[in-house]
Amino acid sequence: MARAVTALRKGQRADGSWGGSPLTTLHRLFGLHLAQREPDPTVERGLDWLWQRAMVSGGAPTSPTVRELYGLPFAPSRGGALWPAAALFLACIFGREQEPKVIEGLRHLEDRLAGGDALGWAARSNLLRALAVHPKFCRGRGVRTLLEQLLEDTAGQEVWPRSLPFHHILNALAHIPGRRAFGLLRPLLPGLAEAQARDGWWGRTDREFKSFLLVHALKNLGLLPR
């Protein structure tokens, strides 16, 4: 693990970025979250640099491709939905969830979900990812609106529509406390075993990370032994 952390830190510039690339910086920061959990000066500089680029109104980086997002808990969507959500998600998981600018940013995401913005499910999944890891906004009106929309779109279905980024949404929902989110997930659980390949993986592409998302979700739901 120590070697993994050292490798992830390698190559950070003085400005806090890795290669001046928002995508590479996002990958490194998420990797550090998985490998070391706690923030340190490397993480703080990276968060500050990514924040400045992701939260610029109308000037967020363009959206990465599906392949470029391999290993990240985000679905490909327009940059205006992906990058603010990514910056706010990282801020929350690294302990900045009470900072005024983070609260303001999350409130904006909540308004977008609750206000009827014409967002596809990939974009909604990304906004949910940021809101789900905040102790207050995970129970807010944006998440409630999304749950209502999800119930409407999946009513009576044991298999969700292909337009929904299944692995990402299931994992995000598993972070949300309460019965309502679990009620959405319950009908899907028997199908997870059927969808699992014989070698133990899930998914056709990015299989290692998609399997991680599902196993992590099952653990959060209390369905795996400790």
pLDDT digits (tens, 9 = 90+) for 168-225: 998 998 888 877 777 777 777 777 887 888 898 988 899 999 999 999 998 888 887 7
- Alpha-carbon distance 214 to 172, whole Å? 10
pLDDT of residue 221: 83
pLDDT of residue 180: 74
pLDDT of residue 125: 94
Nearest to 39 by CA among 15, 9, 72, 4: 9
**Alpha-helix residue ranges (DSSP H) falling in 94-177:** 100-114, 121-132, 141-154, 166-173
Phi and psi for 158 in degrees, rounded to 5?
-85, -20
Sequence-ordered list of residues with C-beta below 8 angstroms from that of 201, at least 6 positions apart, any chain:
207, 208, 210, 211
| Total-model pTM | 0.91
pLDDT of residue 60: 66
Kindly state the DSSP code that residue 16 receives in the 8-state scheme. S
Residues across the chain: 226
- Alpha-carbon distance 226 to 221, whole Å? 12
In which residue ranges of the chain is pLDDT below 50? none
Q: What share of the chain has pLDDT > 90, as a percent? A: 59
The answer for 69, left when phi > 0, alpha when psi is -120 to 50, beta otherwise, is: alpha
pLDDT of residue 58: 58
The answer for 71, left when phi > 0, alpha when psi is -120 to 50, beta otherwise, is: left
pLDDT of residue 168: 92
- Alpha-carbon distance 196 to 14, whole Å? 44
